[in-house]
Amino acid sequence: MKINCDQLAGLLPEFFDGDLSTDQSDAAIDHLATCVSCRLTVDELKGVRTLASEHGRLELPPESKERIRRSLDLD
Ligand SMILES: [Zn+2]
């Protein structure tokens, strides 16, 4: 099974919760092995989840906040 970036994004919540079927998680890992941008997304989400579990609330890393602010064009 081959998946694209959009499909991977749809699988990520279950991927982190370990709820994927073997086929799905193989496909996700396979995609991550070949797709740098999805790997960065996963690393970022992992960081967010780690922070969230450490602090008991969701906290975006500063560089994500900065990027979101820039994309929203706020200042
Ligand atoms: Zn991708």
CA of 50 to the centre of ligand 1 (A): 22
pLDDT given for residue 60 in this prediction: 66
> Along the 75 residues of the chain, how does pLDDT read in single tens digits?
899 999 999 998 888 888 999 999 999 999 999 999 999 999 888 887 776 666 665 566 777 777 777 777 755
pLDDT given for residue 66 in this prediction: 76
pLDDT given for residue 8 in this prediction: 95
Query: Which phi and psi angles does 4 have, rounded to 5°?
Result: -100, 180
CA of 19 to the centre of ligand 1 (A): 20
The one-letter code for the residue type at 10 is: G
pLDDT given for residue 32 in this prediction: 94
Look up residue 18 and give its DSSP letter: T
pLDDT given for residue 16 in this prediction: 83
CA of 75 to the centre of ligand 1 (A): 31
